[in-house]
Structure 1
Amino acid sequence: MGFNIRHINKYWRWIKKTNAQYKENKIFSKDYARRCLDLDIAILLNKSGDQMDKIAMRKHEWVLNYIEDKCSETIARYRNIQAPPNLYELNQDIKVWSMWWQGEENADKLFRMCIDSAKRHTGHEVITLSKDNYQKYFDIPEYILRKNKEGKIALQHICDLMVVSIMASEGGFFTGATVWWSQDKGEEFLRTPFFVCKAETERKMLMSRSRWVGYVMGGNKEFPLFAFTRDCLLEYWKKCDKAVDYLMMDYIFELAYRNIPCVKEVIDNVPDNNLLRNELINVLGNEYNPEQFKRYTEGDTFLYKLSWKFGNKDEQTVDGKETNYGHMLAECGDRL
């Protein structure tokens, strides 16, 4: 009986959530809302991989067409643009960036731990972009800030714009607020012409197919992907008051991949890397074991994606033993 009640409650929560999402998506069109609902139902029913991919692509192509229409001027301007002469040249300067809208001094413990790991393992200062200092490097148009105050543009999308804006204006290496570094990385890596975490798959559930992520990237400021994505976001938000998808940047990267030959070439040439980047989050609350933890500090993966929403971030187990997360915090010493 208990299992049935839990099952019914879970299903009821799913009904309420998907019903709310369906109503929101109808703002764009009933067709789009239906495609999103079909995907949610396929996930609930645990459809086969091929079936899931087919349903997911129906949604992805709708979103791509929508963004392509809203960003038509930018796409026309960049389509088939020539590759910059320094396409494969190392960056001249090393600049490491991160972001916390309210300022690093107001950041939580998880962010400070991740930034401390980036400083230790890159050997460089990490410049934290915030609402108070971004103007030193790039501008955000007034209409973007106004729509954010009006609740039309979420902070996440402001941050996406800031990431590609700093890469287009300065270049360097961007590490997200919840990315933990486990190993030292030298200057050649930080000077990379283009880098992104990648684990390409044929599965189409995600538009990116894990060919890129938005929370880690590096490269020359002239690489067209950065300016293209920035300008698409600016054009989109000038015309629209609502994000068509939470992962809008993934779709814009896909449009760059399809329309700018040198972007496709460079992304295709990035080898798969950091394949275990989503694994550490699942064992943060496990008891720390030095031998077992070497899996995260001595292997091929050196960048790990953590989260505020997921992962057990207790610093001790119920019997008072140090957890993996507790050990990671302890590595920071008194710098937190």
Structure 2
Amino acid sequence: MSEINYLVRRNRIMLLVAKVLRRSHTPQKINEVFNTYRHSKITLYIENNFSDTIKKYDVLGKTHSKDEKEESIIWIFWWQGLENAPPLVRACIQSVIRNAKDYKVIIISQKTVHKYSDISEIIYAKLIEKKISLTHFSDILRFNLLKNHGGIWMDATIYTHHEIEKKVHIDFFTVSGFNDREFFNISRGKWTGFLIGGEKNQVLFSFMDEMFKKYWEKENELVDYFLIDYLLDIAYKKNIGSFRTYIKNNDNTQPNMFELQNRISDSWDEKEFIRLTEKTNFFKLSYKKKNRMSKDSSNTFYDYLIKRV
């Protein structure tokens, strides 16, 4: 059994244990210690196997050339095309288009992905072979797009309620503001990979793009679903492209980012919606979870979002 095979199988078991610990209300400290150990194994593997690329970018700070004519773009990806997206995904994308104001919204699909990206053919081959999932491919794609064009990446399941201000992605942009006391995710709520952006040619974006390329040149299996965050954590610790500096100065907190999903099947409550959107503009939803349409005369939050399309 190869190192990656062993690590993937071991990590699946440890992730299952971490989920059980979290759901069983185990004391926070135990969760934190266990997850610290779990994360360290993945990080050690990455650092040992891709040290040359890490060292290459470790010496680079905030060095990128600004383009005054750079377009303000919001990137959204749906492989099958918007016309084939589930209702909630369409509602989310329409909410972004509705509030984009000065941004150009570009929806990337299977038909247009080559037009905007220069991703390695090795990665495309492994996508076709199903060694790379579409979910992970989107992780790779976002940093390739940001490296080449700049802008903001938004997952197709981001719902936005207010106008998106153009200034949000000056230099660098991500959101935070949610607690992860158990250290379940390596990011610990300091950033989000599903909502991230900045100017093109950022050192951070080039680092992420090259790390994904080097990873898939070497491996045929994904070490962890959240590889994106493990790579960003390495960039954070080493301040690659001034990433740690950006994060420490980041005030783009979205305290209710996950709360709308928790209420999506609840009866519609306008006062509650106003409360949720008062200090939060970006909401992470999921089309995979059961979101019911109301069968009676009463509406749900899901109904409200779908009917706005």
What TM-score do the two structures reach when normalised by structure 2? 0.89
Runs (4 or more) in structure 1 with deviation over 3 Å come to 29-46, 89-92
2:129 to 150, 154, 167: 150
Q: Contact 2:150/2:199 (CA < 8 Å) preserved in 1?
A: yes
C-alpha deviations, 1:101-155, integer Å up to 9, x for none?
Answer: 1222322211111111001112244101122212222222222122222222112
Compute the displacement of 1:178 (Å): 0.3
Change (3 A) 1:143 1:324: same
1:163 matched to 2:149: no
Query: Which residue of the partner structure matches residue 6 of structure 1?
Result: none
> C-alpha separation between the residues in 1 aligned to 2:186 and 2:25?
19
Whether 2:14 is the aligned partner of 1:46: answer: no
Unpaired runs of 5+ residues, structure 2, are none
- The correspondence of residues 18-33 of structure 1 with structure 2, limited to 5 A, is 27-28=6-7
Q: Which residue of 2 aligns with 1:119?
A: 97
Name 1:4's counterpart in structure 2: none
Which protein has greater RCO, CA pairs closer than 8 Å, 6+ apart? 2
Given candidates 273, 288, 294, the residue that maps to 1:293 is: 273
1:178 is aligned to 2:122: no
Output aligned runs, 1:97-246, within 5 Å: 97-123=75-101, 124-189=103-168, 191-199=169-177, 201=179, 203=181, 204-246=183-225
Q: Do the aligned partners of 2:88 and 2:305 also contact (CA within 8 Å) in 1? A: no
Contact 2:208–2:231 under 8 Å retained in 1:
yes
CA spacing shift, 1:308–1:57, aligned 2, 3 Å: same
Q: Does 1:329 align with 2:306?
A: yes
Cα pair distance change 1:112/1:37, threshold 3 Å? closer
- Kept in 1, the 8 Å contact 2:75–2:105? The answer is yes
Q: Percent identity?
A: 27
Q: CA deviation at 1:296?
A: 3.0
Partner of 1:3: none
Distance 2:254 2:68 in 1: 21
Deviation at 1:272, TM superposition (A): 5.0
The answer (yes or no) to whether the contact 1:194–1:219 under 8 Å persists in 2 is yes
Per-residue deviation, 1:66:
0.8
TM superposition shift of 1:25: 8.2
CA distance in 2, matches of 1:37, 1:329: 34
CA distance in structure 1 between the aligned counterparts of 2:209 and 2:286, rounded to whole angstroms: 25
State how far apart, in whole Å, the 2-side matches of 1:101 and 1:30 are.
29
TM-score norm. by structure 1 comes to: 0.83
Of stretches 141-150 and 176-185 in structure 1, the one that deviates more from structure 2 is 141-150
CA distance in structure 2 between the aligned counterparts of 1:313 and 1:200, rounded to whole angstroms: 23
Matched letter for residue 166 of structure 2: E
Over residues 209-267 of structure 1, what are the superposed CA-to-partner deviations in whole Å (9 max), with x where a residue is unaligned? 00111111121113222111111111011101111110110000001112235111111
Once residues 74 and 244 of structure 1 are traced to their aligned partners in structure 2, the CA distance between those partners, rounded to angstroms, is 18
Aligned AA (2:258):
N
Q: In terms of Rg, which structure is larger? A: 1
Tell me how many residue pairs correspond in the alignment.
304
